[in-house]
Structure 1
Amino acid sequence: MQQRAENTRQAVLLGAAVSFEKFGYGTASLSTILAHAGVTKGAMYFHYASKEELAHAVIDAQHQMAMDGALAIDSQVSVALDALIYVSQEMARQLVEEPIARGGMRLTLEIGSIQGPVQRPYVDWIESITALAKRAGTEGDLAEGVDAEALARFVVGAFTGVQTLSQVLHGRDDLYDRLSEMWTLLLPAVVAPHALERAVGLARCAPRTWSVARSTALEASA
């Protein structure tokens, strides 16, 4: 019974993410969410009391998925500069492949315009990138004088703009290429000469698949 309830909750969350991505927060209805989830209204209300609560659950799941990806890369990649690039590629992969990520990203912007800014995902992401950038500086891979916090804010802001433009113009079909362009332009300004060729090479590669549990983000939103 407990596993069945958990399966239902995950189905509702996934159906909501698909609906919110497709229709937006204002237009998505409970009927469209139920249709995508394949569950009854009673089953949905057992887990979530309202569309607003469900929307915030999707945002939380997307945020947890992103943080899980960053933590997995940090634990598997010893060179901080490499990990920094890989984290951005994993965020891009999630937006291309994961409905939770796409639905959560759209909701973060739309709910923020209605209820006030949703800041936590951006703050946590900046802190994560700052930690990697500081390590990269300690390891000698950043150019002299590069401010790790400023670099983190720029990377997060640039990625947000790149993925938004890719979505508007091409439905994110070109996101990997646009992310590669972003890094190719940025890296010569912030990376030490001895590390530049390796970093640019990584930035031009397609995203890797990391050993991140796909269910973690869904479970964490309970």
Structure 2
Amino acid sequence: MTPGEPAWFTLPVPRWSDGAALAGLQARAGATRHELILAAARRFACQGYHATSLVQVVEDCGRTKGALFFHFGSKSALGWAVVGEVHASWEDIAERIAARHLDPLQTLLVVYDAQIGRLMYDPVVQGGLRVMREDPGMQADRNTWVEGWRAESEVLLARARADGLLTADTDPAAVSTTLLSTVVGHHYLAEAQPDGPTTWERMTTTWRGLLPAIAVRPWVTRWSDSGWSHRPAPTAEPYERARREGVSDRV
């Protein structure tokens, strides 16, 4: 790493990524669409998908029902837009992580950090997951999201083993399933015990115990010397700022 270059484990934050939906829209209309998605996501996360009304959404962002129905024909369409942004913004993050050309285990660590940061602080992700959990029509989408995370982990672990970074008896499928289950458990405990360790802190402890058991010693030494253990934890402000970008002031 050259002086001034970001560390390999620098946390990527989301950007608005619903480009297909914005195609052909003027900047002001695109900003309105983002305002509505963000307002809906916050409401969904706070009080649930079914308990949220369209009146609340338009009041929260100071828009009209006419503006809402110009972009979304129904509450379901608005919910799907929030969920779609969850997926699209992750694809953008994944591409940016891949562009770092890290080794597979480093990539795995950044992927989990990025996902955990989103779970903790990205209002669109928090709202989208609530929609996926509460709307029966989105159960398949939720399963796809979960399985996609697990499968991505298995691919990275398999690459790491092929590259000689993991012990020969490490099972990528078993480890990937365990990792995802661990994150889910940590996130549940962190929410149930708000005065206890955060999801980020709990998962950091997990990595410190797991990686020396499955990775080869030279990799573990490089990882320990890289400064990863002292990487800064995510905070809400970058996620809030990222979601405000592209939402212009109305005239």
Offset from partner CA, 1:72-128 (integer Å, 9 cap, x none)? 112214211011011111112223332112112222222259866721211222222
In the alignment, residue 180 of structure 1 is paired with which amino acid?
A: T
Q: Higher RCO, 1 or 2 (CA under 8 Å, sep at least 6)?
A: 2
Report the counterpart of residue 82 of structure 1 in structure 2: 106
In the alignment, residue 52 of structure 1 is paired with which amino acid?
A: S
| Deviation for aligned residue 1:21 | 0.6
Structure 2 residue matching 1:118: 3-state secondary structure: helix
In the alignment, residue 84 of structure 2 is paired with which amino acid?
A: D
| Deviation for aligned residue 1:5 | 1.4
Q: How many Å separate the matches in 2 of 1:128 and 1:120?
A: 12
Give the alignment's Cα RMSD to 1 decimal: 2.9
Q: How many Å separate the matches in 1 of 2:130 and 2:153?
A: 22
Q: How many Å separate the matches in 1 of 2:187 and 2:67?
A: 34
Report the counterpart of residue 60 of structure 2 in structure 1: 36
| Deviation for aligned residue 1:36 | 2.4
Report the counterpart of residue 232 of structure 2 in structure 1: 206
Query: Which residues of 2 match residues 89-100 of structure 1 at below 5 A?
Result: 89-100=113-124
Relative to its length, the structure with more helix (as a share) is 1
| Deviation for aligned residue 1:71 | 2.5
Aligned length: 214
Is residue 137 of structure 1 aligned with residue 142 of structure 2? no
**Any gaps of 5 or more consecutive residues in structure 1?**
none
Q: How many Å separate the matches in 1 of 2:93 and 2:141?
A: 24
Q: Do 1:59 and 1:107's aligned partners in 2 also have CA atoms closer than 8 Å?
A: yes
Is residue 52 of structure 1 aligned with residue 76 of structure 2? yes
Query: Which residues of 2 match residues 18-29 of structure 1 at below 5 A?
Result: 18-29=42-53
Q: Do 1:15 and 1:35's aligned partners in 2 also have CA atoms closer than 8 Å?
A: no
Query: Which residues of 2 match residues 53-68 of structure 1 at below 5 A?
Result: 53-68=77-92
Structure 1 residue matching 2:166: 3-state secondary structure: coil
**Any gaps of 5 or more consecutive residues in structure 2?**
1-24
TM-score, normalization by structure 1: 0.82
Structure 2 residue matching 1:76: 3-state secondary structure: coil
Q: How many Å separate the matches in 2 of 1:124 and 1:215?
A: 27
Distance change in 2, residues 1:157/1:17 (3 Å): same
| Deviation for aligned residue 1:54 | 1.4
Identity value in percent? 28
Q: Do 2:183 and 2:199's aligned partners in 1 also have CA atoms closer than 8 Å?
A: no
Report the counterpart of residue 202 of structure 2 in structure 1: 178
Q: Do 1:86 and 1:207's aligned partners in 2 also have CA atoms closer than 8 Å?
A: no
Farther off after superposition, 99-108 or 192-201: 192-201
Q: How many Å separate the matches in 2 of 1:127 and 1:109?
A: 20
Offset from partner CA, 1:24-66 (integer Å, 9 cap, x none)? 1121111221122321111111111222221122122112222
Structure showing greater radius of gyration is 2
Is residue 107 of structure 1 aligned with residue 131 of structure 2? yes
TM-score, normalization by structure 2: 0.74
| Deviation for aligned residue 1:165 | 2.3
